[in-house]
Chain A
Amino acid sequence: MEVKDANSALLSNYEVFQLLTDLKEQRKESGKNKHSSGQQNLNTITYETLKYISKTPCRHQSPEIVREFLTAMKSHKLTKAEKLQLLNHRPMTAVEIQLMVEESEERLTEEQIEALLHTVTSILPAGPEAEQKKNTNDDVTMDEEDPA
């Protein structure tokens, strides 16, 4: 086997999520019950990767959302890798932005960081984990209100 290009393109979590979801649908439809051990191994990695990625913010993204996000990012002058991390992680705090943007103290003012956060959180939908936490908090509030 010869690797011709080890780095043909960077894929976002969303793109990988779409690919794996489509692959899963294809497997279901073809209804193949007979699996060679090789195919089973591939299914494990595909399954585990899909499971991991489904818990990240890419879960609720769409091509339109990604396009809108990239357009909004143009004014912020970030590298491809930095934009990719913001897209994949949907940071909600300044500390997270500082982790993903190299030398952020020199390149971004506090206002710019706030603006970036606002862009990220308003365009990208919340991930499944954030939603879950929100629901848990709502439940707790309800319990406190209940006198019994």
Chain B
Amino acid sequence: MGVLVFIHRTVGGDRLRRSQQEVVYNVGLCICLFDITKLEDAYVFPGDGASHTKVHFRYVVFHPFLDEILIGKIKGCSPEGVHVSLGFFDDILLPPESLQQPAKFDEAEQVWVWEYETEEGAHDLYMDTGEEIRFRVVDESFVDTSPTGPSSAEAASSSEELPKKEAPYTLVGSISEPGLGLLSWWTSS
């Protein structure tokens, strides 16, 4: 799940540190600096008191590959599906169609349930908050959250409600295969 990314960036002062706990568009979630491979000459530009140095560095980034298997914890359930967290990364969704079938959403308990078929009839398996869950990464989405110009602000104000704040990087997972889902479903005691 860890990937080494080669980046170069112009920095003034210690902006290198401040800006690196973030999602880089189409790259992944920055975890920590790996190394600095090159420091170019420092320049001072007219009208700008800071010194600018081009830095080449490599960053460790969280970016699971397509179909990778990961283990996380259930954060909660909603009609949209099961929300999973890894602690350092929270935006993982298992949509209803990707769950072990048949599945139903229990409105009262606000939890997704696998209606597991046995000879004695359906045995309900609840996807409770806090449970450890093994899933496959089937899709990802990067949203460019950098500030945009006035035209997009107009579009936003014309809609009736405030646009939903989107996470810059989200993963979509699936648990529809044998071995996937709550770890407790598959361990033999």
Contacts and interface: CB of A to CB of B under 8 A. Distances in A.
Contacts of B3: 6-11
Contact of B86 (A6, A9, A52, A102): A52
Chain B facing A: main interface SS: strand
A48 interface: yes
Given A8-B5, A20-B31, A38-B21, 4 more contacts: A5-B5, A41-B21, A42-B21, A95-B179
Interface residues of B, number: 44
Interface stretch (A65-73, A85-93, A115-123): A85-93
A78 interface: no
A16 B167 CA distance: 24
Interface in B103-142: 134, 136
A46 B31 contact: yes
Contact of B17 (A7, A42, A88, A99): A42
Interface string B36-79: 00000000000000000000101010100101110100000000
Contacts of A51: 87-88
B18 A7 contact: no
A2 to B, nearest CB: 6
B1 interface: yes
